[in-house]
Amino acid sequence: MNPTLILVLSAVILGLPTAGFLVNALTLGRLPRRLVAWMGPGVVLAAFAATVVTLISMLSRPATDRGITIVFWHWLNASVASGSGVSAQAGFNANFSVRIDPLSVLMMLVITGIGGLIHVYSVGYMAHDRGFNRFFAYMNLFITSMLLLVMSNTLVFLIIGWAMVAFASYALIAFWYDRPSAVVAGRKAFVTQVIGDVGLVLGAFLIFLNLRGPAGNLLHTVNMQTIFANVGPGAHFHNGLGAYGAGLVTAIGILLFLGAAAKSAQWPLHTWLPDAMEGPTPVSALIHAATMVTAGVYLVARFHPIYQQAPVAAAVVACVGIGTALMAGIIGCTQYDIKRVIAYSTMSQIGLMIFAVGIGAYSAGMFQFFTHACFKALLFLAAGNVIHSLHDDQDVRLMGGLSRRMKWTYWSFAIGALALSGIPIFAGFFSKEELLGNGLALGPAVPWLWVIGVSVNVLTSFYIFRVVWLAFRGEPRSEHAERAHEAPPLMLIPVMILAGLATVVGFLNIDFAGFAPVTVFSAFLQPVLGSPHSQASAAIAGLALLAGVVLSLLGVGLVWAVYERGLIARDLISKRAAWLYRLSFNKFYWDEIYDVALVRPTVALATTVRGLIEPNLIDGAVTGIREVVGTLADDFRTFQTGYLKDYALVFFFFAVVGLVVLGLRLS
Partner 1 sequence: MTVIFGIAAVLAFLGALGVVLSQRTLYSALSLVLNMVSLAVLFLLLDAQFLAAVQIIVYAGAVMVLFVFIIALLSPGAEERVRPLELRMLLGGVAAVVFTVVIGRLTLNGITVGPGGRFHGGIGPFAPTVVNAHGQVQTVGEQLFTTYLLPFEVTSLLLLVAAVGAVYLSKRRRLVA
Partner 2 sequence: MSWPILAVILLVPLCGAMLLLVVPGSRSGVIRVVLATVTAVTLGLSCVLLVAFLAVPSPASSRLTGTANGQSLTTVHSPVTFQFQEQVNWLHTSGSLSRFQPALNEGNNAFNQSGPPPINFSFHLGVDGLSVWLIALAALLFLVAAVVLSRKEPHLKAFAVLMLLSEVGVIGVLTSLDLVLFYFFWEAALIPLYFLMLGWGDERRGRAAIKFIVYTVAGSLFMLLAIIGVYFVTGTQTGVYTFDVPTLIAAQSFVQTIHSTTFSLFGHSFPALNPQDWLFLAFALAFAIKVPLVPFHSWLPDAYSSGRTPFLVFFAGIVSKLGAFGFIRYNLTLFPQASHFFQPLLMGLGVASILYGALAALAQSDIKRIVAYASISHLGFVVLGIFALNVDGLNGAIIQMVNHGVVIAALFICVGIFEARFATRRLADLGGLAKAMPVMAGVFLVVALAGLGMPLLNSFVGEFLILLGAFQVSPAWAVIASLGVILACWYMLRMYQGLTQGPLRAPGASNEESVVQLAVQRIGRVDLGPIELVALAPLVALMVVIGVYPAPIIRYSRFSAAQYVQAVDRGSLAKTSDRTVTPPGSSYRGVG
Partner 3 sequence: MTGLFPGFLILSAGLFSVGAVGVLVRRNPLVVFMSIELMLNAANLALITFARYTQTMAGQVFALFVIAVAASEVVVGLALITGVYRSGRRLDLDELSEMSE
Residues that bind partner 3 (CB under 8 A): 641-645, 648-649, 652
Q: Give backbone dihedrals phi and psi of 31, rounded to 5 degrees, phi first.
A: -65, 145
Would you say 629 or 656 has its CB closer to partner 1?
Answer: 656
Please state at what angle helix 338-359 crosses helix 448-467, rounded to 10 degrees.
160
Residue 198 in contact with partner 2, rule: CB under 8 A:
yes
Return the one option of partner 2, partner 1, partner 3, none that residue 181 interacts with (CB less than 5 to 8 A, by type). Answer: none
516 Cβ contact list (under 8 Å, min separation 6): 510
Would you say 215 or 644 has its CB closer to partner 1?
Answer: 644
Contact criterion met (CB below 8 Å) for 397 and 470: yes
Residue 205 in contact with partner 2, rule: CB under 8 A:
yes
Return the one option of partner 1, partner 2, partner 3, none that residue 641 interacts with (CB less than 5 to 8 A, by type). Answer: partner 3
Helix, strand, coil shares of the chain as percentages rounded to 5?
Answer: 75, 5, 20
Return the one option of partner 3, partner 2, partner 1, none that residue 201 interacts with (CB less than 5 to 8 A, by type). Answer: partner 2
Residue 236 in contact with partner 2, rule: CB under 8 A:
no
CA atoms in the 13 A half-sphere facing the CB of 207: 29
Q: In angstroms, what CA-CA distances link 86 with 90, 218, 425?
A: 12, 21, 68
Q: Segment near partner 2 (CB under 8 A), from 8-16, 75-83, 391-399, 482-490?
A: 75-83
Q: Give backbone dihedrals phi and psi of 185, rounded to 5 degrees, phi first.
A: -60, -40
603, 606, 609, 649: residue in contact with partner 1 (rule CB under 8 A): 649
Q: Segment near partner 1 (CB under 8 A), from 87-95, 265-273, 599-607, 658-666?
A: 658-666
Contact criterion met (CB below 8 Å) for 551 and 454: yes
SS3 519: strand
Return the one option of partner 2, partner 3, partner 1, none that residue 663 interacts with (CB less than 5 to 8 A, by type). Answer: partner 1
Angle at 456 between CA 450 and CA 460, to 5 degrees: 145
| Residues in binding contact with partner 1, number by CB under 8 A | 11
* Cα 440 to Cα 437: distance, rounded to the nearest angstrom: 6
Would you say 128 or 565 has its CB closer to partner 2?
Answer: 128
Would you say 28 or 666 has its CB closer to partner 1?
Answer: 666
Please report, for the chain, how many H helices and E strands are present, in that order.
Answer: 29, 4
DSSP-assigned states of every residue in 209-235: HH-B-TTS-B----BHHHHHHHSSTTS
Q: Segment near partner 2 (CB under 8 A), from 265-273, 423-431, 508-516, 619-627?
A: 619-627
Q: In angstroms, what CA-CA distances link 648 with 637, 644, 655, 658?
A: 15, 6, 10, 15
DSSP-assigned states of every residue in 466-500: HHIIIIISS---SHHHHT--PPPHHHHHHHHHHHH
Would you say 76 or 659 has its CB closer to partner 1?
Answer: 659
Q: Segment near partner 1 (CB under 8 A), from 171-179, 264-272, 589-597, 644-652?
A: 644-652
Minimum CB separation from partner 2 for residue 57, in Å? 28
Pattern of binders to partner 2 over 14-43, x per CB under 8 A?
A: -----------x--xx--------------
617, 624, 646, 647: residue in contact with partner 1 (rule CB under 8 A): 646
531 Cβ contact list (under 8 Å, min separation 6): none
53, 75, 445, 590: residue in contact with partner 2 (rule CB under 8 A): 75
Question: Which residues bind to partner 1, rule: CB under 8 A?
Answer: 645-646, 649, 652-653, 656, 659-660, 663, 666-667
Question: Which residues bind to partner 2, rule: CB under 8 A?
Answer: 25, 28-29, 73-80, 82, 84-92, 156, 159-160, 162-164, 167, 174, 177-178, 180, 183, 186-187, 190-191, 194-195, 197-198, 201-202, 205, 208-210, 216-218, 220, 238, 240-244, 602-603, 605-607, 609-611, 614, 618-619, 621-622
